[in-house]
Structure 1
Amino acid sequence: MIRMVKFVSIPVSDQDRALAFYTEKLGFKVATDQQFNEKQRWIELRIPGAETSVVLFTPEGHENRIGGFFNGSFASDDVMKTYETLSARGVEFTGPPQKQPWGTFAMFKDPDGNQFVLSSR
């Protein structure tokens, strides 16, 4: 039976720039970085403490997905503290964290303009 999401793909235009952002600014760890084809590498990153990984890869013909909204959410125990830490590292947020009845969230962007939700319960 299905037991987890193994990875999600984040479409990027420049894999080296994206790799630097996700490792240096967000703190993800490289699990795999190998040549996939003549144009791209397969770069799989682990999120510390999580089972799900992210892949910095754009399937051929899907370049129009670069710079879109990520259909998911990254979780944090303390969104405000994470917001402050990542902002200090140069991560661009669309605004400060907002408290809602279901939890706190903030939105940030990567260098390609992909937008992500950071949330807590």
Structure 2
Amino acid sequence: MIRVRFVSIPVANQDRALAFYTEKLGFEVVTDQPFGNGQRWIELRPPGSETLVVLFTPPGMENRIGGYQNVAFTCEDVEAAYRELSARGVEFVQPARRAEWGGMEAIFKDSEGNVFVLAAPQGAP
């Protein structure tokens, strides 16, 4: 069966992004090694996830940094995560709220200006 191994998040500064994802979001470093062109291949694991997050920007794709990303994160309690992450200094552009689709969601930015949705699983309060 096919599964998603990793999703790549474009970043301008790998050190700054690594600190954000590990210290503020609590992701675990799986791999951090040289990858050429002055970059590193950094794989992170969100708590409880099989899918990894890679902090890497392929040459010529720098224009993807700092916009809305097609990656959505999930947690059981968006309101609690919103409070906890806000206290850690994560910038939310939309606080936790009930979305039009019926579930809870919040929208946050990472250290590189990338924007992500944080949503509860389907059917969660």
TM-score, normalisation: structure 1: 0.96
| Number of positions where the alignment pairs a residue of Structure 1 with one of Structure 2 | 120
Look up the match of 1:40: 39
Unaligned runs of 5+ in 1: none
User: Structure 2 counterpart of 1:109, which letter?
Assistant: K
- Distance in structure 2 (CA, Å) of the matches to 1:72 and 1:102: 19
- Distance in structure 2 (CA, Å) of the matches to 1:99 and 1:31: 34
Quote the RMSD (CA, aligned, Å): 0.9
How far has the Cα of 1:56 moved from its partner?
0.2
Unaligned runs of 5+ in 2: none
After TM superposition, where is structure 1 displaced by more than 6 Å over at least 4 residues in a row? none
Secondary structure at 2:94 match in 1: coil
- CA offset digits 1:21-52 (Å, max 9, x no partner): 00000000000000000310000001110100
- Distance in structure 1 (CA, Å) of the matches to 2:5 and 2:94: 30
Look up the match of 1:105: 105
Look up the match of 1:115: 115
- Distance in structure 2 (CA, Å) of the matches to 1:9 and 1:72: 9
Matched, 1:66 2:58: no
- Distance in structure 2 (CA, Å) of the matches to 1:102 and 1:10: 27
Matched, 1:84 2:102: no
Look up the match of 1:19: 18
How far has the Cα of 1:95 moved from its partner?
2.4
Identity %: 63
TM-score, normalisation: structure 2: 0.93
How far has the Cα of 1:72 moved from its partner?
2.3
